Amino acid sequence: MKLDLLAIAPHPDDVELTCGGTMLKMAQAGYRTGILDLTRGETGTRGNPDTRLKEAARAGKILRVQVRRNLGLPDAHLQVSDEFKAAVAGVIRELEPHTVILPYWEGRHPDHYTAARLGYEGCFVAGLKNYPLEGQAFRPFKILYAAAYADVRPTIAVDITKQYDGRRRAILAYASQFRPVKKERSKVALPLDELEGRMDLVARHYGRMIGVKYAEGFVVKEVMQLDDVARIPVRSL
C-alpha cells in the first residue's frame, strides 16, 4: 500500500497529541494515511505494552488511518543506529509515503528528538539504491516536523477545528495514560496528568495564529512555494 501521509513517533499516543487532527483531516479528504510507532512505551509509568497497543489500535480507527505499525524498538533506548535506521527505512520502502511527519528535532524527552533524527535518516537511506535493505529504493517528497511539544513558532498550521473532537477522542482512547482508575503515587512528576489539557491550549494558540479555533503547527526546513500572492490565507492586519 502506498501512503500519502505517514506520521512517525516514538510512543503510542504521540501522534494523537501532536498531529492527530491533521491525520484525521487528511483521511477525511480521501488521502491514504498511516502511523508508525517506534516503541511500545514499555518503560512508561502507566499502562503496559499490550494495553497501549490495544489503545493505539482504537485510536487509529478514530483517526481513520489505513495502516498502523509498531516497530517494537526499545523504549527510552532509541538511538540512531544502522539497525534502527534500517527498520524505519524498510517501512518507508514498503509504504512509499509522499509526506512524512516527524517529531520536532529538539525537546524534553530524549526519545522524541532521537526519533526525529532516526526518522529523517531512515527516510534518507531508504532512497539509497545500494543500501543493504530489501525492496526498491524510495524517498519521501516532504518532511514536516510537529511543533506541539516544542517551544518553537510553526511555519505552517493546519485548521483542525472540525476534527478537534475526533482528535480528543483519539487521545482519550489511551485510558491507561489519561484516565487512570486511580492516581498513581510517584516521586517523579507525571506530565501526563495535564498533557491533554495542555495540548488543548496549544491547539487554541496555533488556531489564533491563523484565525481559527483550533490548529496544529508544523515546521518545515525548506522555503515554501506560493504562486498566488493575491489569495494568501491568514490576515496580516
Give per-residue pLDDT as tens, 169-225: 999 998 887 766 665 545 444 555 567 778 889 999 999 999 999 999 999 999 999
- What CATH number corresponds to the domain at position 72? 3.40.50.10320
- The residues near 111 (Cβ < 8 Å, ≥ 6 apart) are 10, 11, 38, 39, 75, 76, 78
CB 37, CB 60: distance < 8 Å: no
Q: Would you call 126 helix, strand, or coil by DSSP? A: coil
Decide if 60 is inside a domain: yes
Domain total for the chain? Answer: 1
- Tell me the residue range of the domain where 126 lies: 5-231
What is the rounded distance in angstroms from the CA atom of residue 134 to the CA atom of residue 136? 7
Q: Which pTM was predicted?
A: 0.91
Decide if 150 is inside a domain: yes
Q: Would you call 70 helix, strand, or coil by DSSP? A: strand
Residue 99 has pLDDT above 50, yes or no: yes
Residue 34 has pLDDT above 60, yes or no: yes
Cα 136 to Cα 9, 40, 92, 99, 201: the distances in Å are 24, 28, 10, 18, 43
All three cell numbers of 57: 489500535
Name the DSSP letter for residue 39.
E
Name the DSSP letter for residue 109.
S
Decide if 237 is inside a domain: no
User: 109: closest CA among 76, 152, 139?
Assistant: 76
Decide if 236 is inside a domain: no
**Average of pLDDT values for 74-98?**
95
Q: What's the confidence (pLDDT) of residue 221?
A: 95
